[in-house]
Chain A
């Protein structure tokens, strides 16, 4: 897996890399093609509710953390901002599995202009037969899979594939950019079936090696402090400010927090976000990174515009879903039918939630 990443030796800033250098992992594309070939002549049913989001699983246990609040002053020293986000969507079901699509987006701000690179969409047909192939795509996942006692549910493969693409893009960006702020969507939590501790360590190390700083913004968190959600702690404080939660346990069950947990309030409104910053960076470096973000990116509702755009560009619109479904139908010669929503049939307008 690592061999597929081009190693950049030039120390100077060279982002964005030409598209050719961002070679897609061949195995990833091949798996997509292979999976779709097997869908030929099979019927696909489209579920009414195609978007499934999986919550981040975090298990906070007893701990005695402390907090320290830091006021922030925007630092306008020119620093490139790069944001990465990946989306996936369930396109429908077949007799043997599910159809998915993933897409990643990289957005960077340079000279007051935003630029984007969209990678994908990659359609997949995941079946009981081929779901284990996902793990062969990544060495780390292979190991993670070996640790699992039972085969993962087909539904979780959506998260696995999404994370796979996300980590690949993150690694590509980490090693092709220098002296940049790299914004991730989510947390720096490892030890999940999708992301091993070793993989996260490698990602963060590569970023540090190139003098990059990874800032991970979580829109939702379940971390509590003194019975309160951590993001509610500083909404009354004047902005911009950063609350560091110290002495938070690194290991929570199988999970490992690879970053220091902060709560960021970057604009004058009620919005606050959990912000994870690489644990290996000093507090001063962390503060400096957030101050550079304030001085170099447009921040609205406490959220960086670059990351917002990455989210927007990776997200699938309903029109795109139809387009991908058509693509699959045409390339794989499938007849698409709509499977009735059994919840709707049973409960009428009260039949909400997932299909099935």
Chain B
């Protein structure tokens, strides 16, 4: 390999056919004079612009048998010509400089073109140099070089993460892997599970209980996720009414009075709440507005007056605080009920975190645009983070996540995308340059992921995500499957 060109943070390297290099590979460009070396990553592989190549290809094209022939080549020059013809141009991005063992993120110097030695840099060597493994090691998968990749799951702590890729590329799989790794390191996780994909985390592929069985707490609204109004604080209820059910301010004020009145009387139940609205002296429009919300709440099945039927989210979170998962199963839940449940869960989380009943929580939100209200996006990246809610968004529609979320994301787990618009959206992530995202993500095979951010110390790594021994649920139901016959 020979150093050819440098433009900004892009380096072009000529590679010959016997030097096998793939997209995502790391190389070092070592300058023997200075002892420094550039750490660069291959983001694209092109044919080298060999002079006369078009003439050569046109002349030797015999696809239509119009012309056929033989060569008498006693000096076997043809092999040398083919060698030149197959030379590649590696488009690389400078990731850092290795200055006698110190890894510095700079590209302000230029190695000698005539003397630079270009070599492959195995990911394990890079990790050792960049000290990536960390305290909370997690086996993520294997690198392009078929070496096991361990990253520091602790890098998810205090961060905002995004898992994105087109349908069927392995997003849910990596989110399960991250979840279980967090659990392994004693972290509490809450999953807003839209398709009931995470309910089998406590079972192995055969459906038998696995090592995580006792740590997975699945809460399904109407079934084992029911709350009494006493469990629910007024602040949370108002949040549901205003944000999920769009109750106007005047009506909310009346509701607050009714709630306080019932609380003072010690009769805070759904039944009494209905009666309270009915008998409350207020404007008829306000009463109607309150009643319509009341019946929505009643029909959601989330609320009960029977304390024996109620289950405490708080209890489940308490159990999970030393390593466990609370799966909020939103499958088969109507849109409005989903909004109510999510408002309740997030409200409760904030309450527990604010009171230091929970230290911090890792929240995994799949297709969050389907249940998160607009204002939550800003809350998540600003306010909630400070309370200890560290969110991971999982989506196959990158444009449903706001640009500011991408900008502030600490880690990005990127799967294959072909669509230019999607790639453009993701390329706004501040953790990496747009070119890397566009060039590498386009060619990622299924189950291969480009990991960006703190978790890999800002050295983008392509990895094949390892398999998990958990019961796969939530797969797409097919009509033309064996079971349909």
A-side interface residues toward B, CB under 8 Å?
19, 22, 24, 29, 32, 107, 113-123, 309, 312-313, 317-324, 326-327, 330-331
Q: Is B71 engaged at the interface, CB distance under 8 Å to the other chain?
A: yes
A116 touching B72 in the complex, CB below 8 Å, given contacts A317-B55, A319-B85, A323-B80: no
Question: Which residues of A have CB within 8 Å of B78?
Answer: 323
Q: How far is the CB of B365 from chain A (nearest CB, A)?
A: 55
Which has the most chain B C-beta neighbours within 10 Å: A117, A119, A122, A327? A327
Known: A118-B69, A118-B71. A319 touches B77 (CB 8 A): no
Kindly state the separation between the CA atoms of A249 and B331 in the bound complex, as whole angstroms. 102
B70 close to A118 (CB less than 8 A): yes
| Interface residue? B308 (CB, 8 A) | no
**Selected A-B contacts with CB under 8 Å, 27 pairs:** A22-B72, A32-B75, A107-B69, A113-B65, A116-B68, A116-B69, A117-B70, A117-B71, A118-B71, A118-B72, A120-B72, A121-B75, A121-B77, A312-B59, A313-B59, A317-B51, A317-B52, A317-B59, A318-B50, A319-B50, A319-B81, A320-B56, A320-B77, A323-B83, A324-B77, A326-B80, A331-B75
What CA separation (Å) do A115 and B84 show in the bound complex? 26
Query: In the docked arrangement, what's the CA distance between A319 and B71, Å?
Result: 17
Q: How far is the CB of A149 from chain B (nearest CB, A)?
A: 35
Q: How far is the CA of A320 from the CA of B50 in the complex (A)?
A: 10
Specify the chain B residue showing the minimal Cβ separation from A108: B69
**A123 and B77 within 8 A (CB):** yes
Assembly CA distance A122 to B75 (angstroms): 7
Residues of A within 8 A of B72 (CB): 19, 22, 24, 117-120
Residue in B56, B69, B76 whose beta carbon sits within 8 Å of that of A317 in the complex: B56
B370 CB–A CB distance under 8 Å:
no
Quick one: closest B residue to A327, CB to CB?
B80
Q: Nearest CB to that of B68 among chain A residues?
A: A115
Taking a contact as CB atoms under 8 Å apart, the answer to whether B67 and A114 are in contact is yes
Compute how far the CA of A309 lies from the CA of B52 in the bound complex, rounded to whole angstroms. 17
In residues 29-55 of chain B, which contact A (Cβ within 8 Å)?
50-53, 55
Please name all residues of chain B whose beta carbon is closer than 8 Å to the beta carbon of A326 when the two chains form the complex: 80, 83-84
Within 8 A of A (CB), among B65-103: 65-78, 80-85
Q: Are A330 and B80 in contact (CB under 8 A)?
A: yes
Enumerate chain B residues within 8 angstroms of A323, measured Cβ to Cβ: 77-78, 80-85
A327/B51 contact (C-beta < 8 A), A309-B67, A319-B84 known: no
A326 vs B458: C-alpha distance in the bound complex, in angstroms?
A: 40
Chain A residues positioned under 8 Å from B68 (CB to CB): 113-116
Given the complex of chains A and B, what is the CA–CA distance between A340 and B74 in angstroms?
Answer: 32
B69, A320: Cβ atoms closer than 8 Å = no
A29 CB contacts on chain B under 8 angstroms: 74
Q: A31 CB to closest chain B CB, in angstroms?
A: 12
Give min CB distance, A165 to chain B, whole Å. Answer: 12
Chain B interface size, under 10 / 10 to 19 / 20 to 34 / 35 or more = 20 to 34
Closest 8 CB pairs of A and B: A318-B52, A323-B81, A116-B69, A317-B52, A318-B51, A327-B80, A319-B52, A114-B67
Inter-subunit contact A322/B69 (CB<8 Å): no
Q: Which residue of chain A is the closest to B59 with respect to CB atoms?
A: A312
Structural contact, B67 and A116, CB atoms closer than 8 A: yes
Closest CB-CB distance, B370 to chain A, in whole Å? 56
In the complex formed, the residue of A with least CB distance to B78 is: A323
The A/B interface has a contact count, at CB < 8 Å, of: 94
Q: Chain A contacts of B81 at CB under 8 A? A: 319-320, 322-324
**A138–B52 CA distance with the chains assembled, in angstroms:** 34
Please give, as numbers and ranges, the residues of chain A lying within 8 Å of B84 by CB-CB distance: 319, 322-323, 326
Q: How far is the CA of A114 from the CA of B67 in the complex (A)?
A: 5
A120: B residues at CB distance < 8 A: 72-73
What residue in chain B is nearest A329 (Cβ atoms)? B80
- Known contacts A113-B65, A326-B83, A327-B80; is-contact A321 B52 (Cβ 8 Å): yes
A324 CA / B69 CA spacing, docked (Å): 21
Chain B residue contacts of A115, Cβ below 8 A: 67-69
In the complex formed, the residue of B with least CB distance to A316 is B52
Among residues of B, the one whose C-beta sits closest to the C-beta of A101 is B77
CA separation between A321 and B50, bound complex, in Å? 11
Chain A proximity of B439: nearest CB distance (Å): 26
A168 to chain B minimum Cβ distance, whole angstroms, is: 12
Name the distance in Å between A148's Cβ and chain B's nearest Cβ: 30
> CA separation between A77 and B50, bound complex, in Å?
45
- Cα-based distance from A331 to B55 in the complex (angstroms): 26
CA distance A123 to B80 in the complex (A): 13
Instruction: Determine the chain B residues whose CB is within 8 A of the CB of A327 once the complex forms.
Output: 75-77, 80
- Residues on the B chain within 8 Å of A107, using CB: 67, 69
CA–CA, A320 to B81, complex, Å? Answer: 6
In the assembled complex, the CB of A171 is this many whole angstroms from the nearest CB of chain B, namely 16
Docked complex Cα distance between A151 and B80 (Å):
35
CA distance in complex: A115, B78 (Å): 19
Q: A318-B52, A324-B80 are in contact. Are A114 and B66 (CB under 8 A)?
A: yes
**Chain B residue contacts of A319, Cβ below 8 A:** 50-53, 55-56, 81, 84-85
CA–CA, A119 and B73, complex, Å: 6
Please give, as numbers and ranges, the residues of chain B lying within 8 Å of A116 by CB-CB distance: 67-70
Residues of B within 8 A of A122 (CB): 74-75
Closest to B67 in A: A114
Q: Which residues of A contact B67 (CB under 8 A)?
A: 107, 113-116, 309
B81 to chain A, nearest CB (A): 3
| Known contacts A319-B84, A320-B81, A323-B84; is-contact A313 B69 (Cβ 8 Å) | yes
- The answer to whether B70 and A322 touch across the interface, beta carbons within 8 angstroms, is no
Q: Are B75 and A322 touching (Cβ within 8 A)? A: no
B70, A19: Cβ atoms under 8 Å?
A: yes
Q: How far is the CA of A58 from the CA of B52 in the complex (A)?
A: 33
Residues of chain B within 8 A (CB-CB) of A19 are 70, 72
B51 to chain A: which residues have CB within 8 Å?
A: 317-319, 322
Complex interface: chain B residues within 8 A of A113 (CB):
65-68
Complex formed: what's the CA distance from A191 to B40 in Å? 63
Point out the residues of chain A lying under 8 angstroms from B56, CB to CB: 317, 319-320
How far is B73's CA from A323's CA once the two chains are assembled, in angstroms? 13
Tell me, in angstroms, the Cα distance from A317 to B53 when the chains sit together: 8
Residues on A with C-beta less than 8 A from B76 are 327
CA distance A313 to B78 in the complex (A): 14
Complex CA gap A313/B68 in Å reads 11
Give chain B residues whose Cβ lies under 8 Å from the Cβ of A123.
75, 77
In the assembled complex, the Cα of A327 lies from the Cα of B80 at a distance in Å of: 6
Q: How far is the CA of A119 from the CA of B71 in the complex (A)?
A: 6
Report the Cα distance A120→B51, complex, angstroms. 21
A19: min CB distance to chain B, Å: 6
| A24 engages B52 (CB within 8 Å) | no
B145-169: which have CB < 8 Å to A? none
> Nearest residue in A to B53 (C-beta to C-beta)?
A319
A residues in contact with B75, CB < 8 Å: 32, 121-123, 327, 331
Q: A22-B72, A107-B69, A120-B72 are in contact. List 13 more A-B contacts (CB 8 A).
A: A113-B65, A113-B66, A113-B68, A116-B67, A117-B70, A118-B70, A121-B77, A317-B59, A319-B51, A319-B53, A320-B77, A322-B50, A323-B77
